[in-house]
Amino acid sequence: MPNEATQNAALQGSVFVFALYDVSEEIDLAELVRVLGLKPGERSFKHSAPEYVRFQRAPVESQFAVDALSGFPPMTGRIKYYDYGVVSLVFESPFQQSWDEMAESASRWLASTEFDRYAESVARRKVSEAHAALIHPHDYWLSEDYFVFHMEAQDDSPTASDIRRKHGADIARVVRGDRRQLSRQERDEVLRGSISYYPNDLAVIGWNAAFIYDTKIGAETTIQLLEYANSQLLEFRHYDELLTKELIAVDESLKRQAGMFAKWRLGSEASRLQAVAVEITELVERADNAIKFLSDMFSARLYRLAASKVGVQDYKKLVNQKLRTAEALYEFLSRQFHEGRGFALELMVVVILVIELIFLFRGKV
């Protein structure tokens, strides 16, 4: 365990609070730039080698003023608009705290509901200003929040190995947002989500918060990848809900079908289901390929770690499973429709033959 002097030494850094909202199916970024008078987004991430990580369609970003909130430190704010319909607010608040104070701060941030309400009010105001650029806006917004505690590393700072060895328990408290010491098992579980590139940088990523030990410039790409991963999580949650509703609607429709010509009416259900599945497949591919890692294997590994920890991979699997279910259901509905149509056509042929026979025999009589 670290001694009391080390435990209470002032640490310098910033806390970043992400508040993300799924506001529409798409955002027309060109129209957004025109309506709000903003600059087009930069394709590259902020990085010492920026050509290695690129957006396919760079989000549009702007700054905004943050009101003074009782019980919260002063903050700056920026908003980012992604073309796949997600709006991300990032609040940054510098700090000088001890390890105990950082764990206490993490606990307060993760438990806060008042700040959630404030962030949503800002998002709704900003989205209202950008309404003309929204394509198929949503009545109900899905949301995600995430917290990043960045401790700045200096030239003479301890190595990442030293920080992890001496303060692994404190890092685990920060990532979990818990004031109390965690069990060794839980601490080890948290620290398994860590990654380093240089000897003096460290990122420990959890499902709801992350701890970064790095220089201010070095931490920028990690922070942006964590923001991007959470935007992806939000999109896959939206696709999951959309597919779930569609599959439930088809199931209820099948239960209501009754009568001789019920199968005939399944054609429209099959067509609608296929249209939704194709649309979501295209959206998933676009969201999944929103950034490219060009020769930067570390950033790719960092993103995969972040995506697995925040739940992107889990929701992506759910969406793909439901897409396969929708495909199988579409094939079933199509077979039923064709069987029903074949039966109806055969019945019509029989009726016509019967009518012709009736007229034939009446003519002979």
Give the pLDDT score at 239: 87
Question: Averaged over 197-209, what is the pLDDT?
Answer: 93
Give the pLDDT score at 336: 63
Comparison of pLDDT for 339 and 78, the residue scoring more: 78
Question: Averaged over 60-84, what is the pLDDT?
Answer: 91
Cα torsion 277, 283, 288, 293 to 10°: value is 140
Give me the chain's average pLDDT, please.
83
Whole-angstrom distance, CA of residue 359 vs CA of residue 356: 5
| Cα maximum dimension of the chain | 117
DSSP string, 240-253: HHHHHHHHHHHHHH
Whole-angstrom distance, CA of residue 98 vs CA of residue 14: 13
What predicted TM-score, i.e. pTM, was given to this entire model? 0.82
- Structure confidence by residue, pLDDT tens digits, 90-118: 999 999 989 999 999 999 998 888 899 99
- Structure confidence by residue, pLDDT tens digits, 2-53: 555 445 567 899 999 999 999 999 999 999 999 998 888 765 555 444 455 6
Question: If residue 94 lies in a helix (H) or strand (E), which one and from where to where?
Answer: strand 86-97
Whole-angstrom distance, CA of residue 160 vs CA of residue 203: 9
- Structure confidence by residue, pLDDT tens digits, 111-128: 888 899 999 999 999 999
Whole-angstrom distance, CA of residue 116 vs CA of residue 120: 6
Confidence tier at 130 by pLDDT (50, 70, 90): very high
Q: And the tokens for 43?
A: 């394709």
